[in-house]
């Protein structure tokens, strides 16, 4: 059922926001900010409604004709009141250069209707803006008429700062209230909301740096020198300001490197961003005294750096100063434990392909990656992270404050160690106690917004297996490290958990062309240091003769998924280039079949009247596709309809796909057409009843075999 928001929900949300800022952030407000808020409370309800509507909109300029809201009784009076109290003003001649850049092409063309220049629909917007600024600026009457139809928000810095105190950044996030109320966005409502800054200097520092970063991102080439000079003399106060400061140093340095390398390197050296460190080290090695850099790097190797920076420094020093020929990442990739052949249909589903490969051999395999560790982390420390004693800056800040500020372990070390004590033993009773605690937290808190992971069925399946395989103490070592430095330990974990011959290991999967990222190397080493076995598995693209290909064709009531449905499905299974089974069925689409579709397919309403609906054949179809690669001619069409049909009965659908259209283009370049009819004629493939599902599926299966033969021939050559 569609949820309807109250008519004055914008005003209600503004009152909620302003009340929080006034009560919780009073020490962060100047007198001017307090007067601004008091002035709003003195406005009439219509004026307050209109002001909040305007503030919630991102554009600086607002057309009066767009101010049409049902909850406001008298728009004109509200506009006049807001102008009188300096919350809005009419646009002026001084606004025209900026206003003209915000107009649409039709609006710009309209403003140039009397200009002595030729305007075409193909004229670029930038050129229209130039014309408008040159021509219209001199036409007082014309410009005055245009300006009088636009209002401008006044004292923008004041309200922007007030919003910033609530949301934590300067992006206009007012729409989040509506998203919350509509159920689109989950928020954390259990904890108490507190001010995100302790002192006004901290808040103002973070606010100013975010504005600088926004301005620079809009015009980096013109503002690079000005922003660089500001950063050199800037004193970033507090965690939020320092984060923005570090990123801005990196970005400004990137912009300056070609024109002023010395200044760019100086900025990068000031930043704690790992990417900035990597850049200044590389550039210094190319441009300056390498012996001096040698001494600097030796000191950095002993310093307490982020894991990514530490890996980079060690790797760079070994290759540049110790004559090591390959990087740490190359060395690790060369230690590949397994090589697994997969069909290229798994290009976008490599992990799924490896899991299927293992399971066919009777080996258990589960996709884990980062979610395994984040779920384990959150459920282990749930009460410490989300308990009623915890605070948050606002319900929209989903990640706990102590993780965001990296203070979790420092503030709650004793309680964290008490939680980790559950992992200390490997007896059956120890494992049961640990699993009981994790399960209890999962059941009690299922579905709650947490900012660490998304809930889903089977969340604890792989965790239960890990705990029962005597690695609980090792898990505790990893969780402790995450608690101490969540920002640098929350990702990069291996893709799979594999259990073979009762032995558990994790695996990082790499397809051809994949690289090992620094955070992955750090995470793999972290697990190994804890005593957990981690292997690297390399995938090679190959045609596996034992792989089943399910060649699918469908007929439908129309070409687009919206409003159309399946009338017939056929599946031809191919293995080792031989057809091993055929299956087909008519499907009642539960809607009318148009006459033009009947002429094309021969399927009419009478034929499907007593046919099963999709829900009745869904299980049979799933059996036909189980463990197979989904093949079709223009696979997106058939796959999309079938996926939508499963979703309509609340069942997920995901299969690796192989398209005989795109692969025919690769295998048989230069043909005039790659339609199924044209290809079957070119290769003399039987196509008895074109546009009937089974006939088309058989023909596509023959085409698949030709493609596979061609691929095998070239791979051998």
Q: Domains, the chain, ranges and CATH?
A: 9-193 (no CATH), 200-332 (no CATH), 338-516+523-541 (no CATH), 548-716 (3.30.420.10)
496 falls in which pLDDT band (50, 70, 90)? very high
Contact 633, 660 (CB under 8 A): yes
Q: Is the pLDDT of residue 427 over 90?
A: no
Closest by CA to 616, choosing from 647, 592, 652, 585, is 585
Q: Is the pLDDT of residue 355 over 80?
A: yes
- Mutual angle of helices 614-625 and 635-648, in 10-degree steps: 130
3-state secondary structure of 547: coil
Model pLDDT, residue 192: 78
Q: Is the pLDDT of residue 1 over 70?
A: no
* Cα separation, 294 vs 299, whole angstroms: 9
pTM of the full structure: 0.79
* Cα separation, 90 vs 79, whole angstroms: 10
Q: Is the pLDDT of residue 137 over 80?
A: no
Count of Cβ atoms closer than 10 Å to residue 102 Cβ: 13
Model pLDDT, residue 99: 83
Model pLDDT, residue 587: 96
| Beta strand pairing call for 150-153 and 88-90 | antiparallel
Strand spans (E) along 87-136? 88-90
| Beta strand pairing call for 657-659 and 629-632 | parallel
Residue 455: C-alpha distances to residues 378, 451, 631 (Å): 11, 11, 32
Model pLDDT, residue 446: 93
Closest by CA to 307, choosing from 82, 526, 584, 47, is 526
CA trace torsion 248, 252, 255, 258 (10° rounding): -140
Contact 705, 663 (CB under 8 A): no
Closest by CA to 357, choosing from 500, 465, 216, 461, is 500
Q: Is the pLDDT of residue 412 over 70?
A: yes
141 falls in which pLDDT band (50, 70, 90)? low
Closest by CA to 696, choosing from 623, 560, 609, 603, is 603
Segment (H or E) for 392: strand 391-392
* Cα separation, 595 vs 689, whole angstroms: 18
Contact 491, 409 (CB under 8 A): no
Cα-only R_g, the chain: 32
Phi, psi of 364 (to 5 degrees): -75, 135
* Cα separation, 367 vs 506, whole angstroms: 10
* Cα separation, 137 vs 303, whole angstroms: 60
Model pLDDT, residue 3: 63
Model pLDDT, residue 713: 65
Model pLDDT, residue 404: 87
Residues in the chain: 717
Least confident of 366-380, 440-454, 507-521: 507-521
422 falls in which pLDDT band (50, 70, 90)? very high
What average pLDDT score do residues 531-540 get?
93
Least confident of 81-90, 174-183, 211-220: 174-183
Which residues, in sequence order, are CB contacts of 478 under 8 Å at separation 6+? 373, 489, 526, 527, 530, 532
Mean pLDDT, the chain, whole residue set: 90
3-state helix, strand, coil in the chain (%, to 5): 55, 10, 35
Give the pLDDT confidence of 23-48 residue by residue, as tens digits: 999 999 999 999 999 999 999 999 99
SS3 string, 429-477, reads: HHHHHHHHHHHHHHHHHCCCCCCCCCCCCCCCHHHHHHHHCCCHHHHHH
* Cα separation, 708 vs 16, whole angstroms: 64
What average pLDDT score do residues 460-465 get?
93
Q: Is the pLDDT of residue 142 over 70?
A: no
Instruction: Calculate the CA 224 to chain-centre distance.
Output: 29
Residue 321: C-alpha distances to residues 37, 290, 317 (Å): 61, 9, 5
Instruction: Give me the numbers of helices (H) and strands (E) for the chain, helices first please.
Output: 35, 15
Q: Is the pLDDT of residue 652 over 60?
A: yes
Contact 535, 349 (CB under 8 A): no
Question: What would the two tokens of residue 118 be?
Answer: 């030729």
| Beta strand pairing call for 503-510 and 192-193 | unpaired
Give the pLDDT confidence of 52-94 residue by residue, as tens digits: 999 988 888 999 989 988 889 999 999 999 999 999 999 888 8
Q: How far is the first Cα of the chain from the last one, in angstroms, to the nearest whole number?
A: 61
3-state secondary structure of 214: helix
Provide the 8-state DSSP code for 7.
Answer: T
Handedness of CA 329, 352, 700, 597 (dihedral sign): negative
Model pLDDT, residue 2: 54
Give the pLDDT confidence of 599-627 residue by residue, as tens digits: 999 999 999 999 999 999 999 999 999 98
705 falls in which pLDDT band (50, 70, 90)? very high
What average pLDDT score do residues 259-282 get?
95
Q: Is the pLDDT of residue 138 over 80?
A: no
Strand spans (E) along 102-181? 150-153
Hey, which residues does 361 pair with through a beta bridge? none
Residue 525: C-alpha distances to residues 249, 448, 494, 593 (Å): 30, 32, 11, 60
Contact 584, 694 (CB under 8 A): yes
Place of tokens 């009397």: 114
Contact 525, 508 (CB under 8 A): no
% of the chain surpassing 90 pLDDT: 63
Residue 679: C-alpha distances to residues 1, 110, 295, 672, 700 (Å): 48, 52, 67, 10, 9
Question: What would the two tokens of residue 608 be?
Answer: 């499907």
Model pLDDT, residue 716: 45
Model pLDDT, residue 343: 85
Structure-model confidence comparison of residues 128 and 294, the more confident one = 294
What average pLDDT score do residues 669-673 get?
92
Cα angle 469-474-478, degrees, rounded to a multiple of 5: 130
What average pLDDT score do residues 173-189 get?
82
């Amino acid at each position: 059922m569609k949820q309807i928001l109250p008519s004055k929900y914008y005003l209600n949300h503004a009152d909620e926001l302003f009340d929080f800022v006034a009560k919780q952030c009073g020490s962060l407000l100047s007198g001017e900010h307090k007067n601004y808020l008091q002035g709003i409370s003195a406005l009439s309800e219509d004026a307050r409604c209109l002001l909040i509507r305007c503030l919630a909109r991102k554009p600086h300029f607002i057309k009066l004709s767009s101010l049409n809201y049902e909850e406001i009784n008298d728009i004109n009076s509200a506009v006049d009141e807001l102008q009188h109290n300096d919350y809005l003003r009419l646009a002026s001649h001084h606004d025209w250069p900026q206003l003209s850049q915000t107009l649409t092409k039709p609006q710009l063309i309209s403003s140039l209707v009397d200009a002595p220049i030729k305007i075409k629909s193909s004229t670029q917007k930038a050129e229209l803006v130039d014309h408008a600024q040159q021509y219209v600026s001199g036409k007082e009457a014309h410009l005055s008429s245009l300006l009088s139809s636009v209002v401008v928000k006044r004292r923008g810095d004041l309200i922007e700062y007030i919003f910033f105190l609530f949301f934590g950044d300067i992006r206009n996030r007012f729409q989040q209230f509506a998203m919350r109320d509509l159920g689109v966005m989950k928020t954390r409502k259990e904890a108490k909301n507190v001010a995100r800054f302790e002192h006004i200097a901290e808040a103002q520092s973070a606010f100013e740096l975010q504005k600088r970063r926004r301005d620079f991102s809009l015009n980096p080439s013109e503002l690079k020198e000005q922003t660089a000079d500001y950063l050199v003399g800037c004193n970033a106060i507090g965690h939020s300001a320092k984060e923005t400061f570090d990123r801005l140093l990196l970005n400004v340095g990137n912009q300056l490197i070609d024109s002023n390398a010395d200044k760019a390197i100086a900025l990068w050296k000031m930043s704690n961003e790992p990417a900035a460190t990597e850049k200044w080290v590389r550039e210094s090695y190319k441009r300056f005294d390498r012996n001096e850099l040698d001494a600097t790097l030796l000191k950095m190797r002993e310093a307490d750096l982020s894991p990514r920076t530490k890996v980079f420094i060690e790797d760079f020093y070994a290759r540049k100063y110790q004559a090591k020929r390959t990087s740490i990442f190359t060395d690790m990739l060369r230690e590949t434990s397994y090589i697994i052949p997969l069909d290229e249909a798994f290009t976008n589903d490599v992990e799924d392909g490896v899991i299927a490969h293992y399971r066919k051999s009777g080996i258990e395999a589960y996709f884990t990656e980062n979610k395994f560790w984040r779920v384990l982390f959150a459920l282990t420390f749930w009460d410490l992270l989300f308990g009623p004693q915890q605070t948050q800056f606002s319900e929209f800040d989903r990640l706990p404050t102590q993780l965001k500020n990296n203070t979790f372990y420092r503030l709650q070390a004793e309680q964290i160690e008490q939680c980790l004590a559950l992992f200390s033993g490997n007896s059956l009773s120890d494992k049961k106690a640990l699993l009981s605690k994790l399960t209890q937290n999962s059941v009690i808190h299922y579905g709650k917004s947490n900012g660490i992971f998304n809930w889903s069925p089977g969340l604890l399946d792989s965790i239960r297996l890990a705990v029962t395989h005597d690695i609980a103490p090792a898990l505790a070592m990893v969780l402790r490290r995450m608690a101490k430095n969540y920002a640098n330990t929350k990702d990069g974990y291996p893709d799979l958990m594999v259990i073979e011959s009762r032995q558990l290991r994790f695996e990082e999967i790499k397809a051809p062309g994949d690289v090992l990222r620094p955070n992955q190397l750090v995470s793999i080493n972290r697990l190994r240091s804890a005593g957990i076995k981690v292997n690297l598995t390399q995938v090679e693209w190959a045609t596996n003769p034992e792989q089943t290909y399910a060649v699918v064709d469908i007929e439908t009531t129309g070409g687009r998924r919206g409003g159309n449905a399946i009338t017939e499905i056929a599946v031809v299974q191919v293995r080792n280039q031989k057809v091993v089974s055929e299956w087909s069925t008519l499907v009642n689409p539960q809607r009318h079949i148009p006459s033009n579709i009947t002429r094309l397919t021969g399927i009419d309403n009478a034929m499907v009247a007593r046919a099963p609906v999709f829900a009745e054949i869904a299980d049979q179809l799933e059996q036909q596709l189980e463990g197979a690669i989904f093949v079709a001619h223009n696979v997106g069409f058939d796959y999309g309809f079938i996926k939508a049909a499963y979703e309509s009965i609340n069942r997920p659908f995901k299969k690796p796909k192989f398209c005989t259209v795109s692969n025919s283009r690769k295998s048989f370049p230069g043909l005039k057409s790659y339609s199924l009819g044209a290809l079957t004629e070119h290769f003399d493939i039987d196509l008895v009843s074109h546009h009937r599902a089974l006939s088309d599926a058989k023909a596509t299966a023959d085409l698949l075999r030709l493609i596979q033969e061609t691929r095998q021939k070239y791979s051998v050559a």
